[in-house]
Amino acid sequence: MAKSTQPESRERGRDPERTRELILDAAEQLFAAKGYEETSLADVGKQAGVSRATPGYFFGSKAELHRAVIERCFADVRRAVREGKARALASGQTPEVVLAGAVGDYADFVAARPNFVRLIEREALSDRVVLDGMPLRLAVWQEALAAFRQELGLDISDTAEAAHLLLSLVALTWFPIVHGQTFLKAVGLDPTAPNFAEQRKRHITTLLLGALRERAANTSTWS
């Protein structure tokens, strides 16, 4: 082992791994809150408690730092997807119950990590196509779709329908995170209210369950 002697946490020592994580945390926070352009490497350094030049030292360039932040973010999403899938399949419940659970789980996940939603949203708005060189993004969504179909017992049937369902789930859960201070407030919804989260989950579950039932009725009865 190269790093054999680090049994204790070093409060004031040098710790490149820790520093790296601190910089990633700071960058994630700032990129999500202010965006890529409005965030300077000096800002990141200050927020991370290091010098102005350290982020550049560790990541080479601002673009690379950004890339690293996104990558870590998608890795977290993938972990959540896998955990949700495992739990859903282990439960052995009907598709309806599984769907309700998935809605709750995913809503909780994005509510707990608004930075992720904001980051990915900003990423999508930037026309710079980052699909090249970022296979993780693609893989995560594809994995999520596969898990979704499997959880819901839609294995053989129409792919597009499952994709639309997943798309709707994501759209419905993300929107309040981004527009909580604008749209939501305007229509009289307070996303910080204690009952809002549950209210929203019920609403989304109702929407998706309706479509799922309608689809089940159609396929089993007519085709």
**Is residue 156 within the footprint of DNA (CB under 7 A)?**
no
**Is residue 216 within the footprint of its own copies (CB under 8 A)?**
no
The span of 47-55, 81-89, 100-108, 132-140 binding its own copies (CB under 8 A) equals 132-140
Which residue lies nearer to DNA by CB, 56 or 84?
56
Question: Dihedral, CA atoms, 131, 132, 138, 139, nearest 10 degrees?
Answer: -160
**Is residue 60 within the footprint of DNA (CB under 7 A)?**
yes
The Cα 22–Cα 32 span in angstroms is 15
How many CB atoms are closer than 10 A to CB 177?
19
84 binds, options DNA, its own copies, none, Cβ within 5 to 8 A by partner type: none
Residues 161-200, interacting with its own copies (CB under 8 A): 161, 163-164, 166-168, 170-172, 174-176, 178-179, 181-189, 199-200
Q: For the range 101-107, what are the long-range contacts, defined as Cβ-Cβ under 8 Å and sequence gap of 24 or more?
A: 102/148, 102/151, 102/169, 103/169, 103/173, 103/201, 103/204, 103/205, 103/208, 104/201, 104/205, 105/80, 106/80, 106/169, 106/170, 106/173, 107/173, 107/197, 107/200, 107/201, 107/204
The Cα 26–Cα 49 span in angstroms is 9
Chosen residue from 8, 17, 37, 155 binding its own copies by CB under 8 A: 37
83 binds, options DNA, its own copies, none, Cβ within 5 to 8 A by partner type: none
**Is residue 176 within the footprint of DNA (CB under 7 A)?**
no
**Is residue 5 within the footprint of DNA (CB under 7 A)?**
yes
At closest approach, how far in Å is the CB of 50 from DNA?
Answer: 4
Instruction: Judge contact between 165 and 148, C-beta under 8 A.
Output: yes
Q: Per-residue string for binding with DNA, 8-27, x by CB under 7 A?
A: --x--xxxx--x--------
**Is residue 56 within the footprint of DNA (CB under 7 A)?**
yes
